[in-house]
Amino acid sequence: MGAGHGHVLYRESDSPVHRLPPEVKIVAMVVFTIAVVATPRTAFWAFGAYAVLVAVVAALARVGPRWLLSRALIELPFVVFAVALPFLGSGDRVEVLGLRLSEDGLHGAWNILAKGTLGVLASLLLAATTTTRDLIVGLDRLHCPQVFTQIATFMLRYLDVLVGEARRMRVARISRGDDPRFLWQLRGFAAGIGALFLRAFERGERVYLAMLSRGYTGRMPAAWQSEGAATTGQWLVAATVPVVAASIAATAVVLS
Amino acid sequence: METLAMHISNGIIDGPVAAIFAALALAALTVCVLRGRRDLDDRLAPMAGLVAAFIFAVQMLNFPIFTAGVSGHLLGGALAAILVGPWVGALCVAVVLVVQALIFGDGGVAMLGLNITNMALLGTAAAYVLIAVLLRVLPRTRAGLAVTAFVAATLSVVVASQGFVLEYWLGGTTDLGNNLTGLAGTMAGVHLLIGIGEGLITATTVLTVAKVRPDLVYALRSLRTPAAPAVPVAGGAR
């Protein structure tokens, strides 16, 4: 396959998690996240249990904790809001380290931090064990509309085209005596952004026409050849994670 | 605080409200798929893919806004609406959001309905309404097109940010009391700045495309007079 090099997050390996069909992993990940979000925020033990579950899957997928945690920093800007909540929230105030903080706000901050982190870890595990091409095949097998998977396929394909064109234009600028450094290249970039778009489109159009002439009809062969589609056994194996997560959530709801 | 509006992460809005918006987003996207299928021809298919890739790349660039201590990024709804139309445009932004949520953990999976409502539906719809009105009112010149793209992009970002305020009011997990108006004000102000950046990028991109390949700009299709007879590519015998 002429797969691109856009698999920044994919970790080549042959673990049991890697071998699972993509559609199974997508469903498991979505159900797991919904179970986490549905858990009452004061059920602290439940979040510990979810973390253990994530750690077990990561170990099975041979994804190291260091890789996982450093990539999880992506959520940092999203939790800035969480830090502000204890100061903004209303209701009862509690004294923490000499600061009068809103109790509701503290709980809210914990809620965002715990649920956000678990969600990010779950999607990182999916990304580490599934190539982007397989992800689209999985969505297709889950009966995602074809218009949708088609746009997604082209998006992932054209990302490489776009990055490649941007690099070529930058080399062209430098070879004509431009000296791009940090912020100063922004001006050159802004001036060239329309040209970049057109160049990428014309390349992308050629890619598309080449695909059409080779028999492309809107779906990738891997999707309509049912080869490699999930078996009942694989569904059952992958169901363990969401089922455990759902029972933890149910217990937490009942107990609270 | 700002990045929130763009990508709401898990746990910020409570479950029931997230579920309602997920149903709403699903219904709206179904309409988009049905209408978009008609639009998606051999010329629009690669364009839709490229617009989605462009939005994906552009959403990774963050604008730091020092005064507010936050950073935000572009949305791309207006660009999509101008180049591929409202239906396929909303789908493009939705595709970007789904892929980001599934594999990058950018915005919670459980909050996908909220994120799609704000960025893909509200943003694109507001942009397209503005485009449709402004293209009829303004002179059909390059400047008219540039102003249209700029205004539509700027305001669509502000509208999308207010979608978050509405959702927070309905189902925020922490009661902010009277601070909600403050939240609305901060969001609008910060997003006006981001919107100006978005407007400039959208206007330059659309102008270049309209100059070289006007046939690719969806918003100009309905306004154009019947195409002039094509110039033969290869010279035949005269």
Mean local confidence (pLDDT), B144-150: 89
Q: Decide: helix, strand or coil at residue B97.
A: helix
Contacts of B45 (CB under 8 A, 6+ apart): A150, A154, A208
pLDDT band at A87 (very low <50, low <70, confident <90, very high): low
Within this chain, do residues A26 and A119 fall inside the same structural domain, yes or no? yes
**Average pLDDT of chain A, as a whole number:** 78
Higher local confidence (pLDDT), A238 or A26: A26
Within this chain, do residues A108 and A170 fall inside the same structural domain, yes or no? no
Q: What is the per-residue pLDDT for A226? A: 65
Within this chain, do residues A125 and A172 fall inside the same structural domain, yes or no? no
Q: What is the per-residue pLDDT for A13? A: 75
The structural domain count of chain A equals 2
Q: Where are the domains of chain B?
A: 3-221
Q: What is the per-residue pLDDT for A1? A: 35
| Residue A11 resides in a domain | no
Say whether B52 and A72 touch across the interface (CB within 8 A). Answer: no
Q: What is the per-residue pLDDT for B168? A: 78
User: What's the pLDDT tens digit per position in B20-29?
Assistant: 888 998 898 8
Q: Would strands A99-102 and B62-65 be described as parallel, antiparallel, or unpaired? A: unpaired
Q: Mean pLDDT check: name the lowest of A226-235, B5-14, B104-113.
A: B5-14
Q: Mean pLDDT check: name the lowest of A108-117, B88-97, B176-185.
A: B176-185
Q: What is the per-residue pLDDT for A54? A: 87
| Residue A2 resides in a domain | no
Say whether A123 and B105 touch across the interface (CB within 8 A). Answer: yes
| Residue A89 resides in a domain | yes
- With CA atoms as reference, the chain B residue closest to A127 would be B103
Contacts of B141 (CB under 8 A, 6+ apart): none
Whether A103 contacts chain B with CB within 8 A: no
Name which of A160, A137, A241, A84 is nearest B174 in CA terms.
Answer: A84
Check if the beta carbon of residue B123 is closer than 8 Å to that of residue B85: no
Say whether B105 and A26 touch across the interface (CB within 8 A). Answer: no
Highest mean pLDDT among A220-229, B92-101, B210-219: B92-101
Whether B153 contacts chain A with CB within 8 A: no
User: What's the pLDDT tens digit per position in B54-78?
Assistant: 888 877 665 554 444 445 567 888 8
Mean local confidence (pLDDT), B127-137: 89
Whether A54 contacts chain B with CB within 8 A: no
Mean local confidence (pLDDT), B102-120: 80
Whether A34 contacts chain B with CB within 8 A: yes
Element spanning A95, H or E: strand A93-96
Within this chain, do residues A61 and A85 fall inside the same structural domain, yes or no? yes
| Residue A69 resides in a domain | yes
Whether B199 contacts chain A with CB within 8 A: no
Within this chain, do residues A131 and A149 fall inside the same structural domain, yes or no? no
Q: How far is CA A184 from the centre of its chain?
A: 32
Q: What is the per-residue pLDDT for A3? A: 41
pLDDT band at A79 (very low <50, low <70, confident <90, very high): low
Within this chain, do residues A114 and A21 fall inside the same structural domain, yes or no? yes
Name which of B187, B178, B181 is nearest A90 in CA terms.
Answer: B178
Q: Chain A: nearest CA to B1, how far in angstroms?
A: 5
Say whether A155 and B99 touch across the interface (CB within 8 A). Answer: yes
Whether B10 contacts chain A with CB within 8 A: yes
- With CA atoms as reference, the chain A residue closest to B97 would be A152
Mean local confidence (pLDDT), B105-112: 75
Within this chain, do residues A152 and A209 fall inside the same structural domain, yes or no? yes
| Predicted complex ipTM | 0.80
Whether B101 contacts chain A with CB within 8 A: yes
Check if the beta carbon of residue A107 is closer than 8 Å to that of residue A92: no
What is the distance between the alpha carbons of residues B121 and B140, in angstroms, rounded to a whole number? Answer: 27
Q: Mean pLDDT check: name the lowest of A46-50, A190-194, B157-161.
A: A190-194
What is the distance between the alpha carbons of residues B188 and B209, in angstroms, rounded to a whole number? Answer: 30
Within this chain, do residues A132 and A245 fall inside the same structural domain, yes or no? yes
Mean local confidence (pLDDT), A175-195: 71
- Tell me what percent of the residues of chain B surpass a pLDDT of 70: 79
Within this chain, do residues A215 and A132 fall inside the same structural domain, yes or no? no
Q: What is the per-residue pLDDT for A156? A: 85
Check if the beta carbon of residue B113 is closer than 8 Å to that of residue B22: yes
Q: Mean pLDDT check: name the lowest of A59-73, A94-108, A194-208, B123-137.
A: A94-108
| Residue A44 resides in a domain | yes
Say whether A34 and B110 touch across the interface (CB within 8 A). Answer: yes
Q: What is the per-residue pLDDT for B1? A: 35
Q: Maximum Cα–Cα distance for chain B, whole Å?
A: 80
What is the distance between the alpha carbons of residues A157 and A6, in angstroms, rounded to a whole number? Answer: 9
User: What's the pLDDT tens digit per position in A39-52?
Assistant: 887 788 888 888 88
CATH code, B3-221: 1.10.1760.20
pLDDT band at A82 (very low <50, low <70, confident <90, very high): low
Whether residue A101 is predicted with pLDDT greater than 80 in this model: the reply is no
| Residue A124 resides in a domain | yes
Other C-beta atoms lying within 10 Å of the C-beta of residue A56: 13
| Residue A6 resides in a domain | no
Whether B217 contacts chain A with CB within 8 A: no
CB-closest option in A90, A153, A194 to B209: A194
| Residue A43 resides in a domain | yes
What is the distance between the alpha carbons of residues A242 and A251, in angstroms, rounded to a whole number? Answer: 14
Q: What is the per-residue pLDDT for B223? A: 63
What is the distance between the alpha carbons of residues A65 and B152, in angstroms, rounded to a whole number? Answer: 44
Residues of the domain holding A124 = 16-138+228-255
Q: Chain B: nearest CA to A246, how far in angstroms?
A: 14
Within this chain, do residues A121 and A239 fall inside the same structural domain, yes or no? yes
Higher local confidence (pLDDT), B135 or A224: B135
Whether residue B47 is predicted with pLDDT greater than 50 in this model: the reply is yes
Within this chain, do residues A76 and A153 fall inside the same structural domain, yes or no? no
Contacts of B206 (CB under 8 A, 6+ apart): A194, B79, B82, B83, B145, B146, B149, B217
